[in-house]
Amino acid sequence: MGQALDERNARQAARTDARVQRRRRQILDAATEVMSTTGFHATSMQAVAERAGISVGLIYQYFGNKDELLVAVIVDILEDFRDQVPAAIAAAGEDPVDRFGAAFRICCQVVEAKREAVTLTYRESRTLPADGLERIKDLELQTAEPIRQAVADGIDAGVFRAVDARLVVHNVLLLAHAWALKHWNLARFLTLDQYIEQEWALLLASVSPRAQ
C-alpha cells in the first residue's frame, strides 16, 4: 500500500514538473519573440502574456518582474551550453582534436537553436540588474571551463601548440555567437554545417604546432 502510494506521488510529481517546464518554455519563447521585436524597454508583461496565450498573472507565478524574465531568457541559453558542452566533449572519445572539435560544434548548434535569444542577449545585456549579471558571468565561466580543459589537454599531449587556452575558448565562443549575430549575412552563402566545418578548419590551424 505504502509503496503504491509513493509511486503514485512520484508520477504526479513528475507530471507537475513536466508541466512547469513546458509553461516556462512557453513564457521564455514568447518573451524572446516580443523583446526581439519591440526591445526590452518597450516590452510589457501583457504583450508577453498575449504572445504566449496565457494570463499575465500566470507569468508572475514564474517571474517576479520583467528584469527577471530577461535574465531567465539569457540563463536559458547558458544552461544549454553548461549541460551540452561537457556531454559532447565526453562523447567524442579521448582524442584531443575530436574533443575540441565536438566542443566547437555543439557551441554552434546551441546558438543555432537559440539564435534569436543570443542576439537579444547582446542587445539587452546592458540593462540587466547587478545580481542577474553576476549570475550570467558565473554561468559563462562554467561554460568555458570544459572547453578550456579540452584545449589544455591537447597542449599537454603535444597535439596543440602552447597557446593560452582561455583565449582559444574566447575565440570559440565568439565564433559560435557570430552565427547568430551575423546570420543575416552568413546564411546567404553557408549552411550551419558548412560554417562549422570551415571555421573549425581555421580554429584547428590556429592551434596546430605547424602554426608556430
- In the prediction, which pLDDT does 178 show? 97
Q: How close are the terminal C-alpha atoms of the chain, in Å?
A: 70
pLDDT tens digits, 107-121: 999 999 999 999 999
Q: Are the C-beta atoms of residues 117 and 56 closer than 8 Å to each other?
A: no
Containing domain of residue 1, as a range? 1-64
Lookup: cell for 114 = 537559440
Same domain, 84 and 56: no
Same domain, 108 and 207: yes
Q: DSSP state, 161?
A: -
Same domain, 122 and 208: yes
- In the prediction, which pLDDT does 20 show? 83
Calpha distance 204→120 (Å, rounded): 30
SS3 of 79-97: HHHHHHHHHHHHHCCCCHH
Q: DSSP state, 191?
A: -
Assign residue 199 the CATH number of its domain: 1.10.357.10
Residue with cell string 592551434: 207
Q: Are the C-beta atoms of residues 84 and 106 closer than 8 Å to each other?
A: yes
Same domain, 44 and 108: no
Same domain, 89 and 76: yes
Calpha distance 147→102 (Å, rounded): 10
Same domain, 107 and 200: yes
pLDDT tens digits, 70-105: 999 999 999 999 999 999 999 999 999 999 999 999
Mean pLDDT of the chain: 91
Same domain, 22 and 60: yes
Same domain, 120 and 153: yes
Same domain, 53 and 127: no
Same domain, 53 and 71: no
Sign of CA dihedral 10, 11, 15, 18: positive
Position 126 pLDDT exceeds 90: no
Position 7 pLDDT exceeds 70: no
Residues 6+ apart with CB under 8 A from 149: 165
Residues 6+ apart with CB under 8 A from 207: 100, 151, 154, 160, 161, 163, 168
More confident residue, 193 or 6: 193
